[in-house]
């Protein structure tokens, strides 16, 4: 398990995309991850190369990656759409979860991040089942809509948070009944409860919560998490 709190604090970039975490949270993540989650060399390399992306340390934790992979398999998902690739760490978890006959399409703004991800996917042996679309995710998603691609079974929304509402709208055009939609980073150290927050990422989460709440076709819940990334959480939604 990476990044105990002291190491994180002594590294100028390590906390950038994480929230403050109590040592106990690291210890518990470490305990469960060591016991239950096997990260092979390719996943470790992908996680470590996250430091070279435009958002160091924003990748999901190992136990969260395993959670997402289990959700993918429990849902029987064969086609996964991911908003926000970075180094491809969660992409590898999804690609392995869908299996050799599955498909992952992942949307990444930055060409340099996509290049790092490409190498990580290659190393992980899943490059053949993953397509990285480079450019603004809203444009890439629109391209998929225009191409009338086969619907996705699971969508993971983990890109620029102010655009969450647009990403949900696109996801609803790219999925059908039974599809699962997961949003990362919906708690943000508790800031999500502040309606007057001047953080556009918080407002992006709050706006998409309103959209989900008012959409009769979506059943949803949200779970707070604590761990190596601090205090944050997921929304899990399902299309009726
Ligand atoms: C941020 C984004 C993420 O996807 C993440 O996991 C953590 C932080 C951010 O935008 O700050
Ligand atoms: Mg995230």
Q: Is 164 in the pocket of ligand 1 (CB under 6 A)?
A: no
Dist. CA 30 → ligand 2 center (Å): 19
Q: 146-185 pLDDT, tens per residue? A: 999 999 999 999 999 999 999 999 999 999 999 999 999 9
Dist. CA 114 → ligand 2 center (Å): 16
Q: Is 59 in the pocket of ligand 1 (CB under 6 A)?
A: no
Tell me how far apart the alpha carbons of residues 143 and 59 are, in angstroms, rounded to a whole number.
Answer: 25
Q: Is 201 in the pocket of ligand 1 (CB under 6 A)?
A: yes
pLDDT at position 16, please?
62
Dist. CA 84 → ligand 1 center (Å): 10
Whether pLDDT at 2 is above 50: no
Q: Is 78 in the pocket of ligand 1 (CB under 6 A)?
A: no
Q: Write the residue with the smallest CA distance to atom 3 of ligand 1.
A: 58
DSSP 3-state assignment of 1?
Answer: coil
User: What is the token pair recorded at 158?
Assistant: 């983990």
Dist. CA 185 → ligand 1 center (Å): 6
Q: Is 199 in the pocket of ligand 1 (CB under 6 A)?
A: no
User: What is the token pair recorded at 130?
Assistant: 């993953």
Dist. CA 59 → ligand 2 center (Å): 6
User: What is the token pair recorded at 128?
Assistant: 């053949």
pLDDT at position 18, please?
87
Q: Which ligand is in closest contact with the Cα of 56?
A: 1
* Average predicted confidence (pLDDT) for the chain: 94
CA distances to 117, 182, 238 from 26, in Å? 26, 24, 30
Higher-pLDDT residue of 16 and 176 is 176
pLDDT at position 17, please?
84
Confidence of residue 4 (pLDDT cuts 50, 70, 90): very low
Q: 78-137 pLDDT, tens per residue? A: 999 999 999 999 999 999 999 999 999 999 999 999 999 999 999 999 999 999 999 999
> Which is nearest to 29 in space by CA: 7, 70, 1?
1
Q: Is 58 in the pocket of ligand 1 (CB under 6 A)?
A: yes
Confidence of residue 22 (pLDDT cuts 50, 70, 90): very high
Q: Is 160 in the pocket of ligand 1 (CB under 6 A)?
A: no
pLDDT at position 82, please?
99
User: What is the token pair recorded at 229?
Assistant: 């990334």
pLDDT at position 159, please?
98
> Which is nearest to 137 in space by CA: 162, 101, 100?
162
């Amino acid at each position: 398990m990476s990044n105990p709190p002291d190491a994180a604090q002594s590294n100028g970039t390590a906390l950038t995309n994480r929230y403050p975490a109590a040592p106990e949270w690291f210890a518990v993540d470490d305990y469960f991850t060591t016991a239950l989650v096997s990260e092979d060399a390719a996943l470790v390399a992908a996680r470590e190369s996250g430091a070279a992306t435009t958002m160091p340390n924003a990748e999901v934790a190992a136990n969260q990656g395993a959670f997402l992979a289990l959700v993918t398999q429990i849902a029987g998902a064969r086609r996964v759409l991911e908003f926000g690739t970075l180094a491809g760490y969660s992409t590898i978890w999804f690609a392995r979860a869908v299996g050799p006959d599955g498909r992952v399409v992942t949307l990444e703004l930055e060409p340099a991040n996509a290049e790092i991800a490409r190498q990580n996917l290659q190393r992980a042996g899943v490059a053949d089942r993953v397509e990285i679309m480079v450019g603004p995710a809203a444009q890439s998603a629109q391209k998929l809509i225009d191409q009338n691609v086969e619907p996705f079974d699971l969508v993971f929304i983990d890109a620029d948070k102010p655009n969450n509402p647009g990403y949900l709208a696109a996801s609803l055009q790219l999925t059908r009944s039974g599809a699962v939609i997961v949003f990362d980073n919906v708690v943000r150290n508790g800031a999500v409860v502040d309606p007057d927050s001047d953080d556009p990422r918080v407002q992006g989460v709050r706006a998409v919560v309103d959209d989900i709440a008012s959409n009769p076709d979506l059943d949803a819940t949200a779970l707070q998490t604590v761990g190596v990334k601090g205090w944050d959480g997921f929304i899990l939604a399902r299309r009726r």
